[in-house]
A and B are shown apart, each in its own frame.
Chain A
Amino acid sequence: MDVLHWDGTLSAKDFKIGAFAFAQKWESHNSGFPPWSWVLCPKHPWLASPEEEGYLSLEKICISRPNEEDIDQISQIDTGEEETSCPGNEDVIDDATLVQSGHHELHYCDFHIVYSSTFRVPVLYFRAYCSDGSPFPLDEIEKQLPACSANELSKSKWTFITQEEHPYLKRPWYKLHPCGTAEWMKLLFLSDAAKPKFDVVLELYLLSWFSVVGQVFGLRIPFKISN
């Protein structure tokens, strides 16, 4: 594959390779988060050797930000669950006394990275819900997002967060629309004077992609991961 003429997209097969590479690096370097898991969705399960499709899944990630007035009150929030990762909350939680701010509801997000055969790129699907499982609507989600991305949203650049049927689960999820992805993936990889080989591109594709889309939710990947 000649990287110079690459269009920024991936084949379904390459997506799977890239997804596994991403999940592996994530697990080794991103210990603040649970690992991504690969969910298998056989395309034609009745065949003897079904075509294997799948997607990456990362679920029950806490996306709540503490309110300003809660920061002083919140110590360890014990939800009784193991390891809810709260990006951005890490510095304010210590394990002193147990105080739960009454009016501060915790919200969670499930993320799926699904391959789009139309656009030939990964797509981030997400849905948010409260601790009792009830769905959390988009305009409320937007209030929980980090300040800079909430800022972007208010400028209507993000009207392309669309609600769609999850291609495998057949339920309404939100997604970040993929139609510009190939263009900025090309920029990410081809702006250096030294053009990488395609197998390097494949190895890093999902990481680079996620460094962009993860910012919407304040999900950071440590940049050492791309070394």
Chain B
Amino acid sequence: MAAAESPSSVRKVVVHLRATGDAPILKQAKFKIPGTDKFAKVIDFLRRQLHRDTLFVYVNSAFSPNPDELVIDLYDNFGFDGKLVVNYACSMAWG
């Protein structure tokens, strides 16, 4: 079963945002996004929802995707069960 098809025939990907570490959990954590969108859109959405500028965002297989990657490519590689799980964490202390 691939990504959900929408009437406009743009393949949409189901994204499930998952809080990890001490990150706040979103009320609306699942949504659909066109596969042709860049991952940057997911990151920006998270930033706006959480009112945080600095987020650590990653997918399974211990990988942090480049914001320029297409959501559909990420789904094809890291998706399972019909969705792409995107993990996020806050207060990433670098220094």
Contacts and interface: CB of A to CB of B under 8 A. Distances in A.
Nearest to A177: B95
A189 interface: yes
Contact of B53 (A157, A162, A176, A214): A157
B61 interface: yes
A99 interface: no
Interface residues of B, number: 29
Interface core residue of B63, B87, B93 (most chain A CB under 10 Å):
B63
Contacts, number: 86
B7 interface: no
A196 B53 CA distance: 31
Q: How large is the interface on A (under 10, 10 to 19, 20 to 34, 35 or more residues)?
A: 20 to 34
Given A177-B94, A223-B74, A184 B67 contact: no
A221 B39 CA distance: 15
Contact of B66 (A155, A204, A215): A215
A72 interface: no
B21 A187 contact: yes
Contacts of B94: 157-158, 160, 176-177, 179-180
Contact of A227 (B66, B69, B77, B89): B77
Given A179-B94, A183-B93, A191-B20, A211 B63 contact: yes
21 contacts: A152-B53, A155-B53, A155-B54, A157-B53, A157-B94, A179-B94, A184-B89, A184-B92, A187-B21, A188-B58, A188-B62, A191-B20, A204-B62, A208-B63, A211-B64, A215-B64, A215-B66, A220-B66, A220-B69, A223-B73, A223-B78
Given A191-B18, A191-B60, A215-B64, 12 more contacts: A148-B40, A177-B94, A179-B94, A180-B92, A184-B92, A187-B58, A192-B60, A211-B58, A214-B66, A215-B67, A218-B66, A227-B77
